[in-house]
Amino acid sequence: MIPQDFIDQLLSRVDIVDVVDRYVPLKKAGQNYLACCPFHKEKSPSFTVSPSKQFYHCFGCGAHGSAIGFVMEYQGLSFVDAIRLLAEGLGMPVPEERSANPQASREARERKLTLEELLQRAAAYYKQQLKSSPAAIGYFKGRGLTGEIAARFGLGYAPGEWQNLQAIFANYQDESLVESGLVIAGDEGKRYDRFRDRVMFPIRNQRGGIIGFGGRVLGKGEPKYLNSPETPLFEKGRELYGLYEARQAIREKNRVLVVEGYMDVVALAQYGVEYAVATLGTATTGEHVRKLLRHADQVYFCFDGDKAGQKAAWRALENSLPQLVDGKALNFLFLPQEHDPDSYIREFGREAFEACLEQQSLPLSVYLTRELTGRADMNTPEGKADLIRQAMPLLNQIAAPALALIIKKRLAELAGVDVDEFDMLMGLKKPERKGRREYRLPDESNRYINTPIVRKQIKWLLMNPRWAEDVTLSDSVALSDELACFAMLAERVHEMPQEPNTARLVESIRGTPFEGLVDSVLQQAMQDPDEFADTGEEARQQFQDGNVKLLKLLREAELERLKQKSRNEGLTPEETQLLRALLTRQG
């Protein structure tokens, strides 16, 4: 975990205008900068970057965040990786919090860099060898690939001899060659290249660094496809072939297509479908899905229509359920049994393939329902009971609450029960519905404090962190929900050693229970472009007046609570003293 003070320091040194401008050309427009949004298609620029707030917002699609958030979204990186990328650009070493052995951590990072360099040299060698292999060139041409697409994906060829890499590595006995997966150490210390007589597909991470290879044999050798083994750089369950090359197309289309083989990815790109990626000899994992959903709102899985394809699709669905997010969609396409994506697009072309993708793919909800009902006899009570039994563990895993409810309602309807009965069978408490509903708040809650006022104060504080000096809240009142968030934001500003800004304040609550609330407030506030402009004294006076009103409401709430407790169970000496003070202030 990276210490918060380092994140603050990084954000105080990085300029979001410079960061964004590296990827998206910005134009000055008054106090801010404008561009066409890189996260959705638009003709008129609505993507705004504020130098004073060190924050960006798109008034078209709602994307917003700090320099860290922009790099995460644009590059598809995790929070930690985005920080590392920004810190490297500034020459700032990234510390590790609570590292048991800092030196070992540093050595591991340096080791990874060494392995990446070895793989990069091997990729250049394989690429060069392709030029002198008529068989490999013939294979790629036979699959309809041009030299341009081969260069884009860095395709190459590993010759058939046992120790080809001796030509570029002076020390063939170097253990790093084994650790990188390029060389195999056999019996009696004999060494030989892992990849021989294979066309080669470099596998890149999201920064573009080569972390492994996939190789397809020429001729009838086995295995037909061979991937690098697990290494410090390469984990099959986390990586996706072609993601680095597909980033731009994925952003433009806001969709990503997952296929089963790297040749499918390259062939689809050749025919204009450039947003495809592939898993690497393993089933789709939850980490794959999480990564895909960071890149696009629409994820399509494309499988062969045979039994193996059906099995892989169901496995992908099961692993996807805990990663689902409302507002994002997963879809499943099954091609005719005689086709894979490569053969289909070569025979019918891009337009037909994309039409098939859009018109014949099944939303996850439809595919899930179809599969479950197909496995049960829906004409008998026993079959309907079996449907509920099979559905329960799957529904419990769905992380998207709205989607889970809709699927549950549909399955309950098919099973002939209502949703409450379905919930009861799942072990969930059946809601009380006798008589008139009563909406009551817990005695200790301060939820009746006017929520719109609090959210408005949060918005102003986020946009103008320096106003935290105007915030005063009663220490005697236990705060919850929006009020607790408001107080926490003010405290975070006071803790900042450097000048606060919106970006630093927002990043300071990342990973806290209030992250979702702050994001919601920002999303709502920034629908008005005026909110992104610097505010004047009139707005600050309104903020100060809001604080006075909040403090008054809090004291009134506390007074009412103490009066009620005094009537019901009595007060402690401290509470009695506080009640007198509040009554005196009221008088």
336 vs 498, more confident: 336
pLDDT reading at 438 higher than 50? no
Q: What is the residue whose two structure tokens read 């929006």? A: 482
Question: What pLDDT shows up at residue 106?
Answer: 62
187 vs 481, more confident: 187
Q: What are phi and psi of 543, to 5 degrees?
A: -65, -45
Least confident of 25-29, 253-257, 322-326, 557-561: 557-561
**Mean predicted confidence (pLDDT) in 554-562:** 73
451 Cβ contact partners less than 8 Å away, ≥ 6 residues apart: 482
The span from the CA of 300 to the CA of 307, in Å, is 19
Query: Is the CB of residue 207 less than 8 Å from the CB of residue 85?
Result: yes
Question: What pLDDT shows up at residue 433?
Answer: 44
pLDDT reading at 396 higher than 50? yes
pTM flag (> 0.85): no
The span from the CA of 539 to the CA of 536, in Å, is 6
238 Cβ contact partners less than 8 Å away, ≥ 6 residues apart: 285, 287, 288, 291
User: Which SS3 state, helix, strand or coil, does residue 342 take?
Assistant: helix
Amino acid at 398: I
Least confident of 151-165, 323-337, 515-529: 515-529
Of the CA atoms within 13 Å of residue 343, those in its CB half-sphere come to 8
Chain-wide mean pLDDT for the chain?
86
The span from the CA of 6 to the CA of 438, in Å, is 49
Which range in 86-100, 112-126, 497-511 is most confidently predicted, on average pLDDT? Answer: 112-126
User: Which SS3 state, helix, strand or coil, does residue 405 take?
Assistant: helix
From its phi and psi, is residue 583 left (phi > 0), alpha (psi between -120 and 50) or beta? alpha
Counting every residue written for the chain, the total comes to 587
H-assigned helices in 307-374: 307-320, 341-348, 350-360, 364-374
The span from the CA of 229 to the CA of 232, in Å, is 10
Question: What pLDDT shows up at residue 442?
Answer: 38
Domains of the chain, CATH where assigned? 4-90 (3.90.580.10), 106-227 (3.90.980.10), 243-360 (3.40.1360.10), 370-425 (1.20.50.20), 451-586 (1.10.860.10)
Q: What is the residue whose two structure tokens read 């200790």? A: 444
Least confident of 113-117, 178-182, 460-464, 478-482: 478-482
Q: What would the pLDDT profile of 225-237 be if each residue is shown by its tens digit?
A: 999 999 989 999 8
Question: What pLDDT shows up at residue 454?
Answer: 83
Confidence of residue 443 (pLDDT cuts 50, 70, 90): very low
**Mean predicted confidence (pLDDT) in 273-301:** 92
Question: What pLDDT shows up at residue 446?
Answer: 42
Query: Is the CB of residue 555 less than 8 Å from the CB of residue 585?
Result: yes
Q: What would the pLDDT profile of 192-227 be if each residue is shown by its tens digit?
A: 999 999 999 999 988 788 999 999 999 888 899 999
DSSP 207-266: TS-EEEEEEEESSS-SSSEEEPPP-SS--TTT--BTHHHHHHHHHHHTEEEEES-HHHHH
Query: Is the CB of residue 48 less than 8 Å from the CB of residue 69?
Result: no
